[in-house]
Amino acid sequence: MNNQLVLNMFLTGLLFGAGPCMASCGPILITYISGTKKNIAKAMISYVLFSLARILVYLGLSLAIYFIGALSVEKLSGNYSWLVYKAGGSFIVMIGLFMVLGKRIVYLPFLKGLERRLLENDKKSVFILGLIIGLLPCAPLLAVFSYIALIASSSHESLAYSFFFGIGTSLSPLILLVAASGALSGFIRKKGEIYRRGFSLVCGLIIIFLGIKLILRGINV
């Protein structure tokens, strides 16, 4: 494995993390963290889980491109992208709905079980969010993985380069925004229940809006 290429992939990841990745991940992740009663420490744990899920998807994409080629992966992702958009958007809308309903969800027993599994145990939710975002790679990301497939002499090298690229994308300015979101959430919680519920309502509505946008994008694919 070429150490210079490892460094190049890491630096490329840093550039992506400060640009395209922050633009695609930021709105959903920051709104989710802000509206789910987190402090800074919990916000950072959520970010690590989100980033880990995204890196796992990157590793899978990298291996797929290495073995079957960029054109095949791009065609396959294009054929099924509508499904990912709709399923991912529906999941995000559901999370936003739980945030909007708050304690009122107790009157909807069929949703209460889901809410307990996803929002109360939100490590699972933020991991799934990372998988969803990772499964919707933009064209520049596919280009990076195609480049990795060309320079890698083995599947192990492809995984290694993709891993360091993924680590680079995770070390982005988004970390500061996530920490700020956790701090804001903690501050709002201290202001009282009315402020907390109002803030959670606004964040939930934003998340629902973002989820609907994904669903509509799937319809228009």
Give the DSSP letter string of 55-91: HHHHHHHHHHHHHH-HHHHHHHHHHHHHHHHHHHHHH
Nearest to 33 by CA among 194, 191, 171, 189: 189
Distance CA 79, CA 102 (A): 37
**Residue 154 DSSP code:** S
Distance CA 54, CA 132 (A): 8
pLDDT at 106 over 50: no
Rounded to the nearest integer, the mean pLDDT of the chain is 77
Distance CA 9, CA 165 (A): 5
Q: Which amino acid is at 51?
A: S
What confidence tier does 27 reach under pLDDT thresholds 50, 70, 90? confident
What is the pTM assigned to this prediction?
0.78
What confidence tier does 38 reach under pLDDT thresholds 50, 70, 90? low
Distance from chain centroid for Cα 199: 22
Q: What is the pLDDT of residue 175?
A: 83
Distance CA 169, CA 62 (A): 15
pLDDT at 71 over 80: no
Q: Which of 45-54, 112-121, 127-136, 142-151 has the lowest mean pLDDT?
A: 112-121
For 57, other C-beta atoms within 10 Å of its C-beta total 18
Contact 184, 34 (CB under 8 A): yes
Q: Which of 15-24, 85-94, 107-116 has the lowest mean pLDDT?
A: 107-116
Contact 64, 73 (CB under 8 A): yes
